Chains A and B, each alone.
Chain A
Amino acid sequence: MPQLEYSSPSTADDAVRALAAAGGSAKVLAGGTDLLVQLRSGRIRPSVIVDLKRIAGAVGIREEAGAFVIGAATPGAVLGEHAALSKAWPGVVEAANLIGSTQVQGRATLAGNLCNASPAADSVPAMIAAGATCVVVGPKGRREIPVEQVPKGPGETSLAPDEFLLEIRLPPRPPRSADAYLRLIPRTEMDIAVVGAGVSLTLDAEGVITAARVALGAVAPTVILVPEAGAALVGSRLGDQALEKLDAAAKAAARPISDKRGTVDYRTNIAGVLARRAATIAYQRAESRA
């Protein structure tokens, strides 16, 4: 391995300085479950590793006026143990907890899953459906952007080399809202999604859907938000007709590739199936909150 430095700044500003000083050859470290694999295989050769875990607030979850703010270095296991977060956002938490094994859950983060920018990243469809935003820190200060603006293509993000994600924010939840995430994998644990679908929706007192967001994973170069799929649900009680429209919209948005995990046709069909099933689960969850 070439010369490599490890730095663990205690403030966000110091982290930005460390990234800027490396002039593009630094890598941010959160849980390391992607980074270490890439480092050890020689796929990446950074000069500096900037570990976020010592920055105040980087590990942990706080509630702010109904919103949940999740520090960028918070591992999946911590999300699953947080009762209020799990109740408000069951879909985001179930998606995060699908990542890897117990050991991986002890380290893997939402922000790392997002910034690794795999089209099959499990937590990303759930976060996009949830309308999650992230706080990006860089030399010019902070900005807040929707999660879907981070991935640009496989392994590529919209962040500058001297920027990083400080936290992820889940917005305040209206009553009778819920979300769900489903993925298809050939086994029940430890595999990469063939397709993933996240759905988040809100009902009125009569059970009519007033807002819905649908996102799909592993059917395009990045995880995609499918506005037509969300629109197909609004105004319905998730009857057969709405589900059919959702299915068609999800399939129409899917632009997958064929590989050993599935063909284009298979993935396209499954995108419709999973969107319907995830919507059904989210709807039942939302109803049970009435």
Chain B
Amino acid sequence: MSKQHVTTTVNGDPTEFLAAPGTTLLDALRDELGLTGAKEGCGSGDCGACSVVVDGRLVCSCLMLAPEAEGRRIETIEGMAQGGRLHPLQQKFLEHAALQCGFCTPGFLVAAKALLERNPDPDETEIRYWLAGNLCRCTGYDKIVRAVMDAAAEMRQVRRAS
């Protein structure tokens, strides 16, 4: 099977990779580019562990073919911390113990970041609906929701101060 050459931007860096036409973006990120933050929990769009942002839209990378990424801007969990400084969401996940095994965490963080970029002040219901496509088998969700609310509050404060 001939592989296709794909040119994209991943976390701001121009990136090229080879992909067999039937493979997913998730496969390409993990196996070709070594970006193993996005996880495969289900491979069918149900769990959100593979969440990435493509041209500003939150998507499941397990439901996107790798060649579809041609010319697109992709953001993954690996681009979230800036120069070793954790994003407020990452920091709050640690403080609130919003993870146990951590398998779902990259997906939740990417999805929560996409939410706060659209809505800096979501209420609990909005957070739960936005994150309904992210499954966690460990935490029971409450700590995740609290971490997102706390991160949002902190980010609003920082924005006001600056």
CA distance A101 to B108 in the complex (A): 13
Q: Which residues of B contact A53 (CB under 8 A)?
A: 68
Q: Mark A204-238, 1 if CB is under 8 A from B, else 0.
A: 00000000000000000000000000000000000
Q: Mark A9-29, 1 if CB is under 8 A from B, else 0.
A: 000000000000000000001
Q: How large is the interface on A (under 10, 10 to 19, 20 to 34, 35 or more residues)?
A: 20 to 34
Please state if A36 and B64 are interface contacts (CB–CB under 8 Å).
yes
Q: Which residues of B contact A280 (CB under 8 A)?
A: none
Please state if A37 and B63 are interface contacts (CB–CB under 8 Å).
yes
- Nearest to A40 among chain B residues (CB) is B43
Decide yes or no: A33 and B45 within 8 Å by CB, A101-B132, A190-B132 being known contacts: yes
Stretch at the interface among A102-110, A117-125, A138-146, A254-262: A102-110
Whole-angstrom distance between the Cβ of B25 and the nearest chain A Cβ: 10
Within 8 A of B (CB), among A19-53: 29, 31-33, 36-37, 39-41, 49, 51, 53
Please state if A103 and B51 are interface contacts (CB–CB under 8 Å).
yes
Q: Mark B142-158, 1 if CB is under 8 A from A, else 0.
A: 00000000000000000
Q: Is B24 an interface residue (CB 8 A)?
A: yes
Stretch at the interface among B9-17, B53-61, B78-86, B90-98: B53-61
- Total A-B Cβ pairs within 8 A: 91
Please state if B111 and A6 are interface contacts (CB–CB under 8 Å).
no
Q: Which residues of A contact B4 (CB under 8 A)?
A: 6
Q: Is A5 an interface residue (CB 8 A)?
A: yes
Q: Which residues of B contact A65 (CB under 8 A)?
A: none
Q: Mark A174-210, 1 if CB is under 8 A from B, else 0.
A: 0000000000000001100000000000000000000
CB-contact partner of B67 in A3, A6, A36, A39, under 8 A: A6
Please state if B21 and A106 are interface contacts (CB–CB under 8 Å).
no
Q: Mark A75-103, 1 if CB is under 8 A from B, else 0.
A: 10100000000000000000000001111
CA distance A106 to B59 in the complex (A): 6
CA distance A151 to B71 in the complex (A): 34
Please state if B133 and A190 are interface contacts (CB–CB under 8 Å).
yes
Q: Mark B89-133, 1 if CB is under 8 A from A, else 0.
A: 000000000000000000000010011000000000000011111
CB-contact partner of B65 in A32, A37, A101, A190, under 8 A: A32
Q: Which residues of A contact B131 (CB under 8 A)?
A: 102
CB-contact partner of B63 in A4, A8, A32, A102, under 8 A: A32
Please state if B132 and A32 are interface contacts (CB–CB under 8 Å).
no
Q: Which residues of B contact A8 (CB under 8 A)?
A: 67-68, 70
Decide yes or no: A4 and B67 within 8 Å by CB, A102-B58, A102-B130, A103-B45 being known contacts: no
Q: Is B44 an interface residue (CB 8 A)?
A: yes
CB-contact partner of A189 in B20, B22, B68, B132, under 8 A: B132
Q: Which residues of A contact B44 (CB under 8 A)?
A: 37, 40-41
Q: Can you show 15 pairs from A to B with CB atoms below 8 A apart?
A: A4-B20, A4-B22, A6-B65, A8-B68, A29-B65, A32-B65, A32-B68, A36-B24, A36-B64, A37-B44, A75-B57, A100-B45, A102-B58, A102-B132, A107-B63
By a beta-carbon cutoff of 8 Å, the part of chain B in contact with chain A is 1, 4, 20-22, 24, 43-46, 48, 51, 54, 57-60, 62-65, 67-68, 70, 111, 114-115, 129-134
Known pairs A4-B1, A104-B45 / 17 extra A-B pairs, C-beta < 8 Å:
A4-B20, A4-B22, A6-B21, A36-B45, A36-B63, A37-B44, A39-B22, A40-B43, A49-B65, A51-B65, A75-B57, A100-B133, A102-B58, A103-B133, A106-B58, A190-B46, A190-B132
